[in-house]
Structure 1
């Protein structure tokens, strides 16, 4: 378990879609939005874990059609969110506070993005079994424990990211007329579109 935790921490330190999503949502909607985004990502990972345990993720590994369908649905959703952010006008200083309360949207978006990433499903299918041992504990139980550990660590990590991003963001966007504030939506939109394009270019293997 200690080896597993160390490997997961190293994986977290490598910037990926979860990191970019948490940072962009925090910058756009505030600390609470970032934390909820992280929880949405973690719930998506938990569902992927359960799917891997049940063998459902194997379908994505063996079926090119299923992989492509999920991949393009995920990419389309990301690009849609990106275009939506790009088209939004710069918000006034008081408006981000209103967006902070829209936690349901942050959770839903993060959950869908994570679920519609076939690479995440394949990651859990390939990664978790490497830490299963023949110690008398049923394999299913071991996989679930490993998956839950990953999910809890993910929530802690994204929560930390949300706190750091919101603290830095308050200084950067303190002035509502700040050039950074005016470009905030464009930066967030570009991140979403970039993630969508990256997902389109992903291969099954």
Structure 2
């Protein structure tokens, strides 16, 4: 496996983003197990982008500004929805005591959508992965698939680590109602900031 690819991927994955935020929220709201479930969902959310890049669909997306804009603004709308739901006391990403937890299926659904509705991932796979495939590569599709799977494995590991670390602070957060209030606001503001950043993305 290309060391440069692994290091570059690690930097990209570890950078703050929607998936990391969803996993952190799950860890704080529902504990370590829920954060791992959310990490699984975020990882699964990268799968359609990976397949699009391998099959060439990402190239079509890159060549069609209208399609890119449509997907982008659906993603922006979803991030704003996440911000609004986070502010609600009974929202799916609430930082709340035990007994109000969502099912694993709902956590995975939220996490998958967070990454699925992000057209930047398709462009990332389309533009980034081919750089690590040599011009004389005998099986370029197989190599691209292997690199993509490595990226997904790293995504899960990093996001799960984020969530488990967040879960370790859960009891301290839950014991301070004022902290819960401001944390919900912080998550909401971050989702709005991510939506704004996505809205400014251009092909």
Q: Shorter-chain TM-score category?
A: 0.7 to 0.9
Q: Do the aligned partners of 1:32 and 1:103 also contact (CA within 8 Å) in 2?
A: no
The reply to whether residue 32 of structure 1 matches residue 22 of structure 2 is no
How far residue 99 of structure 1 moved from its aligned partner, in angstroms, is: 4.1
CA distance in structure 2 between the aligned counterparts of 1:84 and 1:78, rounded to whole angstroms: 10
**Alignment correspondent of 1:14:** 15
How far residue 136 of structure 1 moved from its aligned partner, in angstroms, is: 4.9
With structure 2 as the length reference, what TM-score do the two structures score? 0.88
The unaligned stretches of length 5 or more in structure 2 are: none
CA distance in structure 1 between the aligned counterparts of 2:146 and 2:198, rounded to whole angstroms: 28
**Alignment correspondent of 1:185:** 184
**Alignment correspondent of 1:3:** 4
Change (3 A) 1:89 1:48: closer
Write the deviation string for residues 158-199 of structure 1: whole angstroms up to 9, x where unpaired.
Answer: 1111111110232232x1x53102333322222222222222
With structure 1 as the length reference, what TM-score do the two structures score? 0.87
**Alignment correspondent of 2:87:** 86
Write the deviation string for residues 12-41 of structure 1: whole angstroms up to 9, x where unpaired.
Answer: 333233222221232233322222221111
**Alignment correspondent of 1:202:** 201
Write the deviation string for residues 83-108 of structure 1: whole angstroms up to 9, x where unpaired.
Answer: 12213269xxxx53234452211211
**Alignment correspondent of 1:107:** 108
Aligned ranges 1:163-182 → 2 under 5 Å: 163-173=164-174, 175=175, 177-182=176-181
Q: Do the aligned partners of 2:28 and 2:169 also contact (CA within 8 Å) in 1?
A: no
Between 1:30-39 and 1:109-118, the stretch displaced more is: 30-39
**Alignment correspondent of 1:66:** 67
CA distance in structure 2 between the aligned counterparts of 1:99 and 1:158, rounded to whole angstroms: 23
Question: 1:88 is paired with a residue of what secondary structure?
Answer: coil
Q: Do the aligned partners of 1:58 and 1:125 also contact (CA within 8 Å) in 2?
A: yes
**Alignment correspondent of 1:45:** 46
**Alignment correspondent of 2:123:** 122
The unaligned stretches of length 5 or more in structure 1 are: none
Change (3 A) 1:23 1:138: same
How far residue 135 of structure 1 moved from its aligned partner, in angstroms, is: 5.8
Aligned ranges 1:126-141 → 2 under 5 Å: 126-134=127-135, 136-141=137-142
Change (3 A) 1:74 1:100: same
How far residue 68 of structure 1 moved from its aligned partner, in angstroms, is: 0.7
Change (3 A) 1:159 1:89: closer
How far residue 134 of structure 1 moved from its aligned partner, in angstroms, is: 4.8
**How many corresponding residue pairs?**
199
